[in-house]
Amino acid sequence: MIEGTNGDEDFTAKLAVVGLGGMGSNLINRLYTNGIRSATTIAINTDAKHLNMIRAHKKMLIGKEITNGLGAGGFPELAAKCADASRAEITEAIRGYDMVVLAAGMGGGTGTGSAAQVAQMAREQGSLVVAFVTYPFGLERSRKLKADWGLEQLSKNADTTIVIENDKLLSYAPNLQVEKAFELIDNVAGNAVKGIADTISMPSLINLDFADLRAVMRDMGTAVINIGMGQGPDKVEKAIRSTLTHPLVEADLDGAKSAMVHVTGGTSLTIEEATRIGEGVTESLDAKANVIFGARLVPELQDQIRVMSIVTGVKPIFGSAPRMSEERAPAMALDYLGRIL
C-alpha cells in the first residue's frame, strides 16, 4: 500500500483504444482477440455488418438514422454527420479514460470523417489523445485527397497523430498481396498500440509512466514511428540500425520536439543495452528534444530485441516510397518482414 492512501485507489492510468471504420475496427478485433489486458477496446463504425464480425469490449454503431447501418460509402462528410448524431453515446463510451488511442485508416468514409470529432470529444473530457492512422496506398488514387483532408482535421484535434504510410511499409516487402499487406499493417499498428498501453501500465525494466508519456505527446502535432529488431551477438547494434532504417513514413525531423523510445527484449536484456538503444536511435535529434525511454522484459522474445521509436512534432513527407505494385507474389515476403519489424 502506498503511504497516505487507503489502499483501494487505483493509480494506473486508464486507457481506451478506439477503432473507427473498417480498418480501425479490424485493429480492435486483433487487439481484443490477442488478449489486451491493459486497455478497454472500443469499435465504432457506421457499418452494422462489419461491426457484427468484430470482437471488442464495447461496440457502437453510429449514425443509424442516417446510413441505416450500411456504412458511409466512402463519404467522410456523411460519417462526420453520423459522429455528430451519436455524440452523446460516444462521449459516454470514452468517459473517464486518462488516455484515448484512436485508430483509423484514412481514405474511406467512416474513419476519415469521424476521427477528428472523436478526438475532440475525448480532449474535451481531458484525455490525452493519440491517434494512429494509415495513409492509403498509391494505387488507391482517389482516396488520397480524402486522406489529406482527414489527416489535417485530425491533427488539429488529437494531441499526437502518428502516421503509417501503407506504401512505405510495403516498400520493405514489395509485391505483397493487398490482404496480406493489410494484415501486416494491422500487426504493426496493433503492436505499437499494445506497446504504449503495456508500457505505462505494467511493471518494466525501465519504467515509463503516464506523466512521461503525456509530456512527450501533449499538443505535439504529427509524429512518425520507426520500428526495428535485433538478434544474435550484435543485437544492440542491429536493433539501432534497423530502427533508423525503417521509418513507416518519411519525415522532416528538423522540428522534432520529443521522442518516446520503447525497447522490449527477453529476460537477458540489460538496462545498459536498453539505454544504449535509446540513445542510438535518437542521436540525430536536437539536443533540446525531450526524449523518454522505456523497456520491458517479455520472456517469449528470448534473444530478440524489438524497438519502437515515436518522434513527434515532425512533418511527414508522403510519396517517397516506391508505389506498391498490383502484382501478386509469394507470402514469403511477409515472413521476411515479420522478422525485421
Ligand X SMILES: Nc1nc2c(ncn2[C@@H]2O[C@H](COP(=O)(O)OP(=O)(O)OP(=O)(O)O)[C@@H](O)[C@H]2O)c(=O)[nH]1
User: Which residues make up the interface to ligand X (CB under 6 A)?
Assistant: 21-23, 26, 46-47, 71-74, 79, 105, 107-111, 134, 136-137, 140, 143, 166, 182, 185-186
Residue 280 parent element (H or E)? helix 271-282
Please, which residue, 113 or 265, has the CB nearer to ligand X?
A: 113
According to the binding rule CB under 5 A, does residue 22 interact with Mg ion? yes
Write down the least CB distance from residue 140 to ligand X, Å. 5
Write down the least CB distance from residue 46 to Mg ion, Å. 7
Q: Which of residues 102-161 bind Mg ion (CB under 5 A)?
A: none
Please, which residue, 22 or 228, has the CB nearer to Mg ion?
A: 22
Binding mask 36-55 for Mg ion (x = CB under 5 A): -----------x--------
Please, which residue, 110 or 312, has the CB nearer to Mg ion?
A: 110
> Residues 223, 311: contact at Cβ < 8 Å?
yes
Residue 27 CA to residue 59 CA, distance in Å, equals 13
Buried b (16+ CB within 10 A) or exposed e, 259-279: bbbbbbbbeebeeebbebbbe
Residue 114 CA to residue 24 CA, distance in Å, equals 11
Query: 134 contacts which partner out of Mg ion, ligand X, none, CB within 5 to 8 A by kind?
Result: ligand X
Write down the least CB distance from residue 285 to ligand X, Å. 28
Write down the least CB distance from residue 327 to ligand X, Å. 18
- CA 123 to each of CA 68, 194, 195, 218, 268: distance values in angstroms, whole numbers, following the listed order: 29, 21, 22, 10, 40
Q: Which residues bind Mg ion (CB under 5 A)?
A: 22, 47, 71
